[in-house]
Structure 1
Amino acid sequence: MKRLFLLFFLLCSMTVSTTFAQEKKAFTLEDVIPGGNNYFNLVPKNIPGLKWWGDVCVRTDVDDIRQIDNRTGEETILVTLKEVNEALQNGEKPYKLLAPIKPLHTLQGASLPWENRNLLMFSDYVGDEEKSESYVFFYDFIQKKLTNMFRIQEANATNLDFCKENGYLAYTAGDHLYIANHGDFSTAVSPHPTDVKEIDNDIVYGQAVHRNEFGIYKGTFWSPKGSYLAFYRMDQSMVTDYPQVNTSTRIATLEPDKYPMAGMTSHKVTVGVYEVKTGKVIYLQAGDPTDRYFTNVSWSPDEQHIYVIELNRDQNHAQLVSYQAATGEKEGILYEEKHPKYVEPQHPLVFLPWDETQFIYQSQRDGFNHLYLMDTKAKGEGVWKNGKLEGSTYLEHLKVTPLTQGDWLVQDILGFNAGKKEIIIGSTEVSPLQTNLFCLNVKTGKRTLLGEKDGMHRASLSASGTYLIDNFSSFTVGREITLLPTNGKKGTVLLKADDPMRSQFNLPEITIGTLKAADGKTDLYYRLVKPVNFNPNKKYPAIIYVYGGPHAQLIHNSRFYDARGWDLYMAQKGYVMLTVDSRGSDNRGLAFENCTFRHLGVEEMKDQVKGVEFLKSLSYVDGNRIGVHGWSFGGFMTTNLMLSYPDIFKVGVAGGPVIDWKFYEVMYGERYMDTPQTNPEGYKGSDLKQKAGNLKGRLEIIIGGTDPTCVPQHTYTFLRACIEAGTHPDLFIYPEDGHNMMGRDRVHLHEHITRYFEDHLK
């Protein structure tokens, strides 16, 4: 379940005189909501298009591409947009195009795939709605000419996956998979040899599977030397069609979506391997794919083996399985892990660049996601052992050495410094509210902090692992971009940016702190936003903004502590805004998250009520005017809180809510709830239709008319339950929108939410 995070910045403390505060302007939703006409003018400045060309930092900008000196920050132009357009329009081409190529407007999307070649790669399309073609171009900016072109004749090509080792491009068009190299025509990798007839949307090749759970975000996987392409094949023919309806046509059009609901038949996935040299396709001999998940596909450095982390339908037993790449034959199980609640593999294997016999595996077996070094040449003990969490067990068929340990988690592996045998990671070791960068020595286990200790760091690593592009922000720093060496020394600052909102607008006071969870022992982080021009002698209404579910965290040490533009806007209108990251949310370890297992909404709501108690302890909060708002899982929480605690919450706005977990998808729903057949009590307790008669306050539900994530059936069945129970929620629909509103619809959405609270809570 995806959520859109909006990051904003504010000074730690604001002690301004009343006169000075009045001199600053009030802001509008157009200023603080993405899609607003002034939003992008008010975020801290950035340097778009920073990326690596080997170990050289380059900036792909609108009019040119510049090389940046890692030590001085000085910029040198490599190529200009004018030069590229001259070659596109007037230079020699390997074949005649369908139509003249229009000039490019920017070079920001270009890349430099080869560190030792002066080649620029970019894509474009020509033609019109009737007939169009996509092209991938390679431009030599020393010789100033095109060196190669791919013509992609299939309509609506997507999922482009370029392999720099062999120069081939994999892509999908419709439900099929293709590869292209030099010249006019592509080669179809699909269909499967046994498929006599395939119906669109039934068999899908080369796309992400299992509804993008388990860290899956793509469907093609080039081997290290480019000899093979592994790919997903997903058979959805047995999956129920969910009848989404497009109402923008003259007569509404049925546009069904394959949607496997919890406890129902799911799709079947197999992994194919295409050999580039021969064009031969084989499939991994994994046995019957029914009710199994094939996650985190990876290759051995010598291209002889493919590794898949396979998970059973119950999601409580993961196996790392090795297959022979040339034949698809199953070679054996290398590692196994069980947990009575769930095991959730999120990351593929990563081999050490200086030792092709060892790889890193990521696991939560000891309660937090950590790195484990596995040796393919050394056998493990081969016996089941207990992890640190109750019920957690694992079996090591290979020798395993823990690389990181502790009550914090590794969030990402950015890459390696092979020369020093070090791994560059992002982790929560400093604080669960932050992402910090560390250099980890594989031999000693020593970790060296890279960059500032404060805040959130997003970074990319150079080819050799000696430099990072570190994009850093915190509550007190708008943005700072640094070319940072990975030896722990200071780097070259490319940008220091203040926050435009600080100087222009009268902003609210924002603080963070901790309160005890309903279990009486766990610390929960909260964020409190006071009204603009706060008067401690007044009584203010309060709104809780909630999410509360897995894989989401609403509070970080970032701009405004992650308070959204709407939170600030409501503070300007005189509301106290509170957010609590309850148990069940992200970055606090497995036990913190899985305490909600089989009963989603119960423990999370108890923690949110602790937030209400905190609000009521504040002399300036009107305890009779408390509202709640959230989206997606937060929409489920909003509705649930309104129905379970009707005497606490006066007004709620629930966006895209889950109402009945039986209507949610197999992969996510069954991980946290099991199936309706095995957990009927839990599903009944989390079915908000059963509580429809409890509604006392004003509740509005807002949905996208063709939401593919929380399908409209959730809301429609809840409305029917309310009708039968004699209660009266309100409804607003964004026709043809999905799970989130974007662009101008997003501004309208927040105008609408604001009006609802102003009408019923103010």
Structure 2
Amino acid sequence: MKFPKILVAFILATTSVLTAQKKEVSLEEIWSGTFRQERLQSLQSLNNGEEYVVLNRDRESGNTTIDVYSYKTGKKTRTLVNSADLEGIDSFQGFKFSENEGKVLLSTEVEPIYRRSSKEIFYVHDLSSKNLVKVSKDKIQEASFSPDASKVAYVFENNIYILDLKTQERSQITNDGEINSIINGITDWVYEEEFSFVKAFEWNPTGEKIAYLKFDESEVPEFSMDMFGKDLYPSQHVFKYPKAGEANSKVSLHIYDLDKETSSEIDLEDQIDVASKDSKPEVEYSDFYIPRIKWSAEPMTLSVQVLNRHQNDLDLLFLNAENNQTSLILNETDEAYVDITDNLTFLEDNSFIWTSEMDGYNHIYHYDEDGELLDQVTEGNWEVTNYYGYDEKSNRIFFQSTENGSVNRDVYSIKPNGNSKKRLTEKDGMNSADFSADFTYFINTFTNTNTPPVYTLRKAKDGEKVREILNNNTLLEKNKAYDFSPKELSTININGNDLNMWMIKPTDFDKTKKYPLLMFQYSGPGSQSVSNSYFSTNDYWYQLLADKGYIIVCVDGRGTGFKGADFKKVTYQELGKFEVEDQIAAAKKLGERNYIDKERIGIWGWSYGGFMSSNAILKGNETFSMAIAVAPVTSWRFYDTVYTERYMRTPQENPSGYDENSPLNHVEKLKGDYLLIHGGGDDNVHVQNTMRMVEELVQANKQFEWAIYPDRNHGIYGGNTRLHLYNKMTDFILEKL
């Protein structure tokens, strides 16, 4: 068929315009926040359940305010606190209400310590009298109101103090705190990092007692890092870090009586021998963790979770704070390990909600106050992934689960007896909830591979949508100009398992061509990198690589989460074995596809992912031609006790598990191109890991590339650091793959 010249010219011109319209994403755009998602500012429900508060900042004046909004209308109803009205405070970075919401703790001059800890200057602001009190002239940690808001407890230089807000009298309730030796009321490094909490003291519900943990870390080996800064001589950061198999802090539980002004140490072992259940007649606490303490609904009963060092035997104890007698309420064991639960919730009758993997999947259980099982609330071959709470009024428990597929999340409600389950979200994807204090409403955050986060207000009773609060339509409109490729979700059958996978192809993908493949993974125990969610920051980088002709793939192999305990715990005592086998097998299988060049397959990862990518290019040297490892563990002997021993036991008990899967012991297998990157100030995965890897590679006469970012922590960020890092990785991929 012959087209007129004018029509041909029109078609060519139109094609040129369409081609020109596709913008190519740049690293500068990615790391300057061009694709930043609109997010609902962190909010907190007020006790009335009808309103919530948000911390707002005026960028022009620098003032901060705590503003109140109506759930139903979304309109601002009033301002509770404005820094412009507070003498001596230009702005504040955070706040905590007292129980009756009559006073608020304001945090200023926040100085980060580690991942979750910080030192701050705190003020107490009385919302009715407008009185403002500085808690301490020094930067302190974890300030906390007493239940009646008459006092504030806090930690300063490893000791616990109480300030009486009425008399302004200050009392010091511990005196033996010492840096790198004794810690009272806050956690040591490894508890903070691996048990995910810092504040290790709790007021009882009537304000008469304070339960607290003491850490004696005097026998824990010290780790030091040179921090170069800009001075003539570098400084040294020295802290206690227990590596696998080494001494932990000795942890002890104490109760402080405010009337008697005395502390008593609770001898858990002596007390529990008397109170043990028949099912567990002998209890020995010689080397153990106390990962959680929490007061129950009974004001003088403290719950204490005690975990053995192997982390496969968990006791829930109830301590009577009047006579210091302890009872064993619940015991849970596992051949591998027991995960700590944050979901312990006490009902009015002191019965409690508990979550556990005891039937092979994480589910909700309801026990009476003596630890007798009343009901398994949820059950099925799916996981409860979040527990939101119990509403006494409606007699319903609210939770999130994978019942609609392991890459999805939905919000549900259910009766404590397991009946009348309701799905409260309707769209397939990742749904999460933030409930009002009285469980009248919840804010639903929804995303899937095509939809950046959308926030809607819904009724907790049935999930009915009340209104849309916020969406990211502006981002979607902006992204149209780039014509990004979709993130395709699928599964791939590897070693007898259907593994979750996503793939990003070039926009102009042609199945008759062959493309190089870059695989990303993390693969740590219980993790998830493949989900039905919108682009993360790294996904925009993958789009940049796709524009340059690469296919990007991520596969969640054995050991990752949300597919049941057996799938997750198969890697027990063998970290880096089955996960690496799955990545190698997945790469080989993908290499069989007509459009993938099996001679050009690379892999990269960060942290645990760097451990994996290092092993992959060594053990899979016939499959992978390139690897990038950022902040990798290169031997689990170098990592901390709590994380490592949970999955590996100690090096003394399991030397082969540590060594056979350590990249240090396979360097002679390196054939492809390898880039090794680390932050010099990484307090988590120490740069020691990379230095040892470098030495082994040098002695094996293997050529590779490496980079150290001075003083940067595990996240390797600050200033232009991330941009520089991703430029380096991009150049390496373009040159080597």
What is the alpha-carbon distance in structure 1 between the residues aligned to residue 120 and residue 228 of structure 2? 29
Instruction: Give the drift of 1:50.
Output: 3.0
Q: For structure 1, which segment, 251-260 or 671-680, has the greater mean C-alpha deviation from structure 2 after superposition?
A: 251-260
1:747 counterpart = 2:723: yes
Q: Which residue of 2 aligns with 1:88?
A: 86
Instruction: Give the drift of 1:757.
Output: 1.2
2:152–2:165 Cα contact (<8 Å) kept: no
Q: Which has the higher contact order (CA 8 A, sep 6+)?
A: 1
User: Once superposed, which parts of structure 1, at least 4 consecutive aligned residues long, lie more than 6 Å away?
Assistant: none
Q: Which residue of 2 aligns with 1:188?
A: 172
What is the alpha-carbon distance in structure 2 between the residues aligned to residue 370 and residue 78 of structure 1? 41
Q: For structure 1, which segment, 215-224 or 238-247, has the greater mean C-alpha deviation from structure 2 after superposition?
A: 215-224
1:103 counterpart = 2:90: yes
Superposition map of 1:32-431 within 5 A: 32=30, 36-37=31-32, 39=33, 41-54=34-47, 55-60=49-54, 61-63=56-58, 65-71=66-72, 73-79=73-79, 84-89=82-87, 101-104=88-91, 109-110=94-95, 113=98, 117=102, 121-124=105-108, 134-140=121-127, 146-155=130-139, 157-182=140-165, 184=168, 186-191=170-175, 195=176, 199-209=178-188, 210-212=190-192, 213-214=194-195, 216=197, 218-248=199-229, 249-287=231-269, 290-329=286-325, 331-347=326-342, 349-352=344-347, 355-377=348-370, 398-431=372-405
Amino acid at match of 2:69: I
Q: Which residue of 2 aligns with 1:9?
A: none
1:470 counterpart = 2:444: yes
What is the DSSP-based 3-state SS (H/G/I as helix, E as strand, rest coil) of the residue aligned with 1:683? Answer: helix
What is the alpha-carbon distance in structure 1 between the residues aligned to residue 549 and residue 623 of structure 2? 20
What is the DSSP-based 3-state SS (H/G/I as helix, E as strand, rest coil) of the residue aligned with 1:629? Answer: strand
What is the DSSP-based 3-state SS (H/G/I as helix, E as strand, rest coil) of the residue aligned with 1:226? Answer: coil
1:152–1:185 Cα contact (<8 Å) kept: no
Q: Which residue of 1 aligns with 2:277?
A: none
1:404–1:445 Cα contact (<8 Å) kept: no
Amino acid at match of 1:413: Y
What is the DSSP-based 3-state SS (H/G/I as helix, E as strand, rest coil) of the residue aligned with 2:652? Answer: coil
Amino acid at match of 1:358: S
Ranges in structure 2 where 5+ consecutive residues have no aligned partner: 1-13, 59-64, 112-118, 270-283
What is the alpha-carbon distance in structure 2 between the residues aligned to residue 545 and residue 133 of structure 1? 38
Amino acid at match of 1:308: V
Superposition map of 1:560-709 within 5 A: 560=535, 564-709=539-684
CA 1:497–1:225 in 2, change beyond 3 Å: closer, same or farther?
farther
Deviations 1:601-637 (A, max 9, x none): 1111111123213321332221111111001110100
What is the DSSP-based 3-state SS (H/G/I as helix, E as strand, rest coil) of the residue aligned with 2:558? Answer: coil
CA 1:706–1:110 in 2, change beyond 3 Å: closer, same or farther?
closer
What is the alpha-carbon distance in structure 2 between the residues aligned to residue 624 and residue 223 of structure 1? 63
CA 1:679–1:230 in 2, change beyond 3 Å: closer, same or farther?
same
Alignment partner for residue 731 of structure 1, among 706, 714, 726? 706
What is the alpha-carbon distance in structure 2 between the residues aligned to residue 537 and residue 734 of structure 1? 42
Instruction: Give the drift of 1:168.
Output: 3.4
Q: Which residue of 2 aligns with 1:380?
A: none
1:428–1:587 Cα contact (<8 Å) kept: yes
What is the DSSP-based 3-state SS (H/G/I as helix, E as strand, rest coil) of the residue aligned with 1:583? Answer: coil
Deviations 1:723-759 (A, max 9, x none): 2222123221111111111233222211111111122
CA 1:177–1:570 in 2, change beyond 3 Å: closer, same or farther?
farther
Instruction: Give the drift of 1:451.
Output: 2.8
Please give the TM-score of this superposition, normalised by the length of structure 2. Answer: 0.87
RMSD: 2.7
1:451–1:484 Cα contact (<8 Å) kept: no
Q: Which residue of 1 aligns with 2:428?
A: 454
What is the DSSP-based 3-state SS (H/G/I as helix, E as strand, rest coil) of the residue aligned with 1:531? Answer: coil
What is the alpha-carbon distance in structure 2 between the residues aligned to residue 439 and residue 49 of structure 1? 24
Instruction: Give the drift of 1:505.
Output: 2.0
What is the alpha-carbon distance in structure 2 between the residues aligned to residue 456 and residue 167 of structure 1? 42
Q: Which residue of 2 aligns with 1:484?
A: 458
What is the alpha-carbon distance in structure 2 between the residues aligned to residue 204 and residue 456 of structure 1? 40
What is the DSSP-based 3-state SS (H/G/I as helix, E as strand, rest coil) of the residue aligned with 2:106? Answer: strand
Instruction: Give the drift of 1:442.
Output: 1.2
1:133–1:151 Cα contact (<8 Å) kept: no
2:375–2:418 Cα contact (<8 Å) kept: no
Amino acid at match of 1:636: F
1:505 counterpart = 2:486: no
What is the DSSP-based 3-state SS (H/G/I as helix, E as strand, rest coil) of the residue aligned with 2:656? Answer: helix
CA 1:168–1:414 in 2, change beyond 3 Å: closer, same or farther?
farther
Instruction: Give the drift of 1:325.
Output: 1.6
Amino acid at match of 1:438: Y
Instruction: Give the drift of 1:639.
Output: 0.5
Instruction: Give the drift of 1:151.
Output: 2.6
Instruction: Give the drift of 1:250.
Output: 2.4
What is the DSSP-based 3-state SS (H/G/I as helix, E as strand, rest coil) of the residue aligned with 2:617? Answer: helix
Instruction: Give the drift of 1:340.
Output: 1.9
1:458–1:471 Cα contact (<8 Å) kept: yes
Deviations 1:29-53 (A, max 9, x none): 2322xxx22x1x4233233243311
Q: Which residue of 2 aligns with 1:98?
A: none
Deviations 1:79-113 (A, max 9, x none): 287xx345313xxxxxxxxxxx2533x7x845655
1:509–1:531 Cα contact (<8 Å) kept: no
What is the alpha-carbon distance in structure 2 between the residues aligned to residue 229 and residue 18 of structure 1? 72
2:680–2:710 Cα contact (<8 Å) kept: yes
Q: Which residue of 2 aligns with 1:514?
A: 491
Q: Which residue of 2 aligns with 1:93?
A: none
Instruction: Give the drift of 1:711.
Output: 1.5
1:215–1:296 Cα contact (<8 Å) kept: no
CA 1:425–1:181 in 2, change beyond 3 Å: closer, same or farther?
farther
2:24–2:544 Cα contact (<8 Å) kept: no
What is the alpha-carbon distance in structure 1 between the residues aligned to residue 157 and residue 163 of structure 2? 16
CA 1:547–1:279 in 2, change beyond 3 Å: closer, same or farther?
same
CA 1:458–1:176 in 2, change beyond 3 Å: closer, same or farther?
farther
Aligned length: 687
Q: Which residue of 2 aligns with 1:383?
A: none
What is the alpha-carbon distance in structure 1 between the residues aligned to residue 450 and residue 438 of structure 2? 32
What is the alpha-carbon distance in structure 2 between the residues aligned to residue 18 and residue 306 of structure 1? 72
1:243–1:257 Cα contact (<8 Å) kept: yes
What is the alpha-carbon distance in structure 2 between the residues aligned to residue 562 and residue 452 of structure 1? 27
2:559–2:571 Cα contact (<8 Å) kept: yes
Amino acid at match of 2:352: F
Q: For structure 1, which segment, 612-621 or 625-634, has the greater mean C-alpha deviation from structure 2 after superposition?
A: 612-621
Amino acid at match of 1:512: L
Instruction: Give the drift of 1:657.
Output: 1.0
Superposition map of 1:9-20 within 5 A: 20=18
CA 1:476–1:759 in 2, change beyond 3 Å: closer, same or farther?
closer
What is the DSSP-based 3-state SS (H/G/I as helix, E as strand, rest coil) of the residue aligned with 1:406? Answer: coil
Ranges in structure 1 where 5+ consecutive residues have no aligned partner: 1-15, 90-100, 378-396
Deviations 1:418-448 (A, max 9, x none): 1111111122222211232111211353221
What is the DSSP-based 3-state SS (H/G/I as helix, E as strand, rest coil) of the residue aligned with 1:738? Answer: coil
What is the alpha-carbon distance in structure 2 between the residues aligned to residue 298 and residue 756 of structure 1? 50
What is the DSSP-based 3-state SS (H/G/I as helix, E as strand, rest coil) of the residue aligned with 2:393? Answer: helix
CA 1:153–1:57 in 2, change beyond 3 Å: closer, same or farther?
same
1:166–1:227 Cα contact (<8 Å) kept: no
1:58–1:65 Cα contact (<8 Å) kept: no
